Amino acid sequence: MDRKEALWIYQKMNEIRFFEDEVHRTFGKGLIPGFVHLYAGEEAVATGVMALLDDEDYITSTHRGHGHAIAKGCDINGMMAEIMGKKDGLGGGKGGSMHVADIGKGMLGANGIVGGGFGLAAGAALTVKTLGRDNVAVCFFGDGASNEGVFHEGLNLASILNLPVIFVCENNQFGEGTPFRYASASETVAERASAYNMPGVRVDGMDVEAVYDATKEAIARAKSGKGPTLIECDTYRQYGHFEGDEQKYKTDQDPNKDRDPIPEFREKAIANGWMTAEEADAIETAAEKTIVEATAFAEASPLPDESALYTDIFA
């Protein structure tokens, strides 16, 4: 990791955090229809992976997808407007929080279906491979999705076809309200990789550098035609599964409960000389401003025209 990457990572981590805290408040005011699932606490995963991708690389995301979208470079104003169901949203207000997407940025969409991304990411990688491009597809999924049948199908297919996919599990300890230790027969998600003949690594998902390093290796492997890698990031969800979740299932003993990846990275980056405290402060201030502006933009945006109900069904 170099200074430039570190500054970018710290900026994106802050943007994600301010964004999610803002969405939390806005939802509370009743300005957001439907469900929202907040990413706060897991910023190290999205930024550690995305620091190594460009617009031609693909990602598939989850219902907890705001962090992935911001780190993948989606327009933050457009995201906020989309989440509020406004005309200027990335999807014209027709997708909402669970379907934030920007294919031009390689973001194939947050996904309302748990496990929806395994096949899509394999398919994007199939495109890369078939057309001979030098890119990868990253499939973000939660510990909950690791118990869907299509987890097996997606990993197996990617492995036998040597597809350039990186499966990134964000193990935030809970699938909705059920602890991972209850729902999974294997102790880790990473160890399941051996069943599909691919490397499986488990890293500290609160440590950007650990995520970054594991991803870098996986990308190199994928691009050299050796196929997919499974990376399990041990992390924690600061908010509930959805807004309004009382989080009765959380305990004081939960792994990573008292950790926060953002101050951790700030400290490390300053110590490593990647950025100064002044730069960090300036990034924080700028990130907050970005989000305040995004909210103002979204609130000012009109609702979609009624005619939009009937458009964009077929190309």
Give, as ranges, the residues between 57 and 96 that touch another protein (CB under 8 A): 58, 60, 87, 89-95
| Per-residue x/- track, 187-226, another protein (CB under 8 A) | ----------------------------------------
Q: Which stretch binds another protein (CB under 8 A): 20-28, 67-75, 171-179, 190-198?
A: 20-28
* Cα angle 101-263-77, degrees, rounded to a multiple of 5: 25
Range 94-133, binding another protein (CB under 8 A): 94-95, 99, 101-104, 108-109, 111-113, 116, 118-131
Q: How far is the CB of 210 from another protein (least distance, A)?
A: 28
The reply on whether position 291 binds another protein by CB under 8 A is no
User: Considering CB under 8 A, how many residues would be counted as binding another protein?
Assistant: 72
In whole angstroms, how far apart are CA 112 and each of 116, 145, 151, 267? 8, 12, 16, 35
Nearest to another protein of 162, 255 (CB atom): 162
CA 112 to chain centre: 14
Of 148 and 279, CB closest to another protein: 148
**Residue corresponding to tokens 């005011």:** 29
Instruction: Output the CA angle 45-1-7, nearest 5 degrees.
Output: 75
The window from 21-29, 196-204, 221-229, 287-295 that contacts another protein (CB under 8 A) reads 21-29
How many degrees, rounded to 5, is the angle at CA 223 between CA 195 and CA 169? Answer: 45
Q: Taking CB under 8 A as the rule, does residue 304 contact another protein?
A: yes
- Closer to another protein by CB, 6 or 70: give it: 70
DSSP for 126-148 reads HHHHHTT-S--EEEEEETTGGGS
Footprint of another protein on residues 134-173 (CB under 8 A)?
137, 149-150, 152-154, 156-157, 160-161
28 or 276: CB nearest another protein: 28
Which residues, including other chains, have CB under 8 Å from residue 43's CB and lie 6 or more apart? 12, 13, 16, 17, 67, 261, 262
Beta bridge partners of 175: 178
Q: Which amino acid makes up residue 197?
A: N
25 binds another protein (CB under 8 A): yes
